[in-house]
Amino acid sequence: MAELNGVPVTPDELKALALVNYGHFTSMRMEDQHIRGFSHHLERLARDCRVLFGQELDRQQVRDYVRQATAGRDGAFVVRVTIYDPDLELGHPGARAEPKVLVTTRPSGTWPMSPMRVQSVPYMRELPEQKHVGLFGALWHRRNAQLDGFDDCVFTDPELYVSEGATWNIGFFDGQQVIWPNAEVLQGVTMRLLHQVHDATSLGPVNLADLPRMEAAFATNTAIGVRAITGINEVEFPDAHPILETLRKEYEEIPAEAV
């Protein structure tokens, strides 16, 4: 299923997304017509539309498009809303844009997802605070990590301070509190919600040299929930630390919003 501004998208309309690759998006796990943190996702789309296109996004219209595209579907699946202009040309990205709303869906995984091992790599996404469609660098490093025998990659700055994963946020537990890296990252909706409901939480610098003193590490996004990280490079973490179950329980108890 793929609808652009409420009607089935055509191959020609998808060309710009594939060939020009300029836009932004958000992905959301829908369960029985409800989305946890839906208002945060709409806020992200509106904010990023101002940054990338200089335009105000009609949040109610986006909600209507999502509601229409998913009407009658039960169970859990992932909804992605992508904002882009099908008429934007590669040679004239500075032209006045008229961004449109593409709604697509895909199957969701079963929670909790299996633990993963990740490899660190010095890298920062362009416009790290925006969820844009420019994923080449992240996927390049993810591919290389997988070729090296890992499941994914996590980014650091040149001084080896941890920031974020390829498509997820990373958190740590030091035995007393959950620590989210205070680097330039995309503040994921799942991370934001957990920050709100888990009292013993802080933002702080986390260097690769600090990892041996951490009791647990985990990844979060709307598709994976809270996923255990059992290794970063050569440093190992447990896959069943109590903090992981606590965070999963707190997250799943957050009321989901009706679309």
User: And the tokens for 71?
Assistant: 């009407």
The share of the chain scoring above pLDDT 90, in percent, equals 97
Q: What angle do CA 30, 98, 19 make, to 5 degrees?
A: 75
Q: What is the pLDDT of residues 23-78, one digit of tens each?
A: 999 999 999 999 999 999 999 999 999 999 999 999 999 999 999 999 999 999 99
Contact at 8 Å (CB) between 16 and 86? yes
The pLDDT, as a whole number, for residue 110 is 87
Task: Label residue 109 by pLDDT band (50, 70, 90).
Answer: confident
Distance CA 131, CA 148 (A): 27
pLDDT value at 95 more than 80: yes
Distance CA 216, CA 209 (A): 15
The pLDDT, as a whole number, for residue 153 is 98
Model pTM score: 0.95
The pLDDT, as a whole number, for residue 174 is 98
Task: Label residue 155 by pLDDT band (50, 70, 90).
Answer: very high
The pLDDT, as a whole number, for residue 81 is 98
Alpha helices (H) along the chain: 11-19, 38-53, 59-70, 136-147, 189-197, 242-252
Q: What is the pLDDT of residues 180-193, one digit of tens each?
A: 999 999 999 999 99
pLDDT value at 120 more than 80: yes
Q: Which helix (H) or strand (E) holds 157?
A: none
User: And the tokens for 258?
Assistant: 């009706």
Residue 97 DSSP label: P
pLDDT value at 1 more than 80: no
Give the mean pLDDT of the chain: 96
